[in-house]
Amino acid sequence: MPSRHRPPGAASLPDVAGLWRRERLALAVLVLLVLLLTTLDLAAPQLMPVSALVLPVMVAGWRLLPRSVLVLGMVVAGSVMVALVANPVGRTVVAAVVVAGVVLIAHRYAVLRQRAGLSPGVGLDILVELRDGLRRQGELSQQPDGWTVGRTLRSARGAGMRGDFTLALVREGQLQVVLVDVTGHGPDVAARASQLSGAFGGLLGAVAPDELLPRCNDYLTRRQWRETFATAVHVAVDLASGRGEIFCAGHPAPHLRRADGTWTVGAASGPLLGLHEDARYRAGTVQLAPGDCLLLTSDGLLDPDTDEPIGPLRAAVDRWAGRTVAPVDDALLAGLPVDPADDQSLVLVRRDGPVRPGPVPG
């Protein structure tokens, strides 16, 4: 007797027939809704304007396949023509133009979603998961004993996606932190930043610290993306001794704030990631004593209009370091003269201990 069980993996295949049934049902419901709204508009145009037809059209763009959106669009076009014949006033004409524009936008969105291989109704959910996953990748599940690691990330013009990302790992008594800035900003480079985040995150901890940036450079050069490069800073610190190494790839060097409020700049250099093959990255060393704090930042937080572009950010970190308990969040960046058109990222690594406030800016 043949088994009634599905072969392995068959349960995960999409139910094509079921998908088409749901598609036809959703289209039928939306067509009926369009007809209902049209009838109400003809009966009481003051209470139910023709512009109400944008509601089913918006749902169609989110829920239906492109050809179903076209079918609904033709039904909506017929309803709009009936409304114009019944009530040919200026306000109705404007509303009809708006409805036509929304139909075009809904169809375009459905085409882009299908081209990306996203199922109807879940396109935005996947983008949200992508954004949240990119953000979580640079978070530590718990703070290392005796250390505080915090960060704040802001997207260009308040967008939900960004070209900057961070990575962090604690393993075998060593803390590694990476800050990467992909050329461009905001949603325009979010997809590539997500790919690089996954690749670089897989390398972090799998290779020695001095091999990470060369491996990342090899990966990016193999992608052969036109005009896409990245800068990066990588710090590897021994949690017991506070001694660490710094590696830079065309990125602003880390700044070390001593417990007494003085600052020094890390000495590390190297070319941008993805610029050319066989790039070499010269390591610098750092020693964090109790109370010392290491600042990693993207250039979006630097002020190019001053003689010392990082000066305002240093002053903000001085205020943060002088407080016993203070989170690393957007409040730390309040009042900084930053460029809103660029992504802004900051990571602070502090070895816990007594600190003194830095000098108050004049």
pLDDT tens for 171-219 read 999 999 999 998 876 556 777 888 888 899 999 989 999 999 999 999 9
Please tell me which residue, 68 or 161, carries the higher pLDDT value. Answer: 68
Amino acid at 41: D
Residue spans of the domains in the chain: they are 15-121, 140-351
For the cut 70, the answer to whether the pLDDT of residue 360 exceeds it is: no
Please list the alpha-helical segments (H only) found in the chain: 16-43, 54-63, 66-86, 90-115, 123-136, 190-203, 209-223, 311-321
For the cut 50, the answer to whether the pLDDT of residue 287 exceeds it is: yes
Q: What is the pLDDT confidence band of residue 278, given thresholds at 50, 70 and 90?
A: confident
User: Once rounded to an integer, what is the mean pLDDT over residues 117-137?
Assistant: 62
Residue 37 phi, psi dihedral angles, 5° rounding: -65, -35
Instruction: Please report, for residues 151, 226, 254, 299, 350, the alpha-carbon distance to residue 165 in angstroms, rounded to integers and kept in the order given.
Output: 11, 20, 16, 13, 20
pLDDT at 355: 59
pLDDT at 185: 63
pLDDT at 3: 44
Please tell me which residue, 56 or 355, carries the higher pLDDT value. Answer: 56
pLDDT at 362: 44
For the entire predicted model, the pTM comes to 0.69
* DSSP string computed for 273-309: BTSSTT---B-EEEEPPTT-EEEEE-GGG--TTSSST
pLDDT tens-digit series, residues 147-181 = 999 988 887 766 666 778 899 999 999 999 999 99
Q: What is the pLDDT confidence band of residue 93, given thresholds at 50, 70 and 90?
A: confident
**CA-wise closest residue to 323 among 151, 148, 152, 140:** 148
For the cut 80, the answer to whether the pLDDT of residue 77 exceeds it is: yes
- The pLDDT > 70 percentage for the chain reads 81
Superfamily of domain 140-351: PPM-type phosphatase domain (3.60.40.10)
pLDDT at 323: 72
User: Once rounded to an integer, what is the mean pLDDT over residues 29-34?
Assistant: 92
For the cut 50, the answer to whether the pLDDT of residue 356 exceeds it is: yes
Please tell me which residue, 94 or 187, carries the higher pLDDT value. Answer: 94
Highest mean pLDDT among 113-117, 188-192, 193-197, 295-299: 295-299
Are the CB atoms for 107 and 73 separated by under 8 Å?
Answer: yes
Query: In 3-state terms, what secondary structure has residue 224?
Result: coil
pLDDT at 214: 95
pLDDT tens-digit series, residues 305-352 = 777 889 889 988 998 887 766 667 777 777 787 777 778 889 999 998
User: Once rounded to an integer, what is the mean pLDDT over residues 262-286?
Assistant: 91
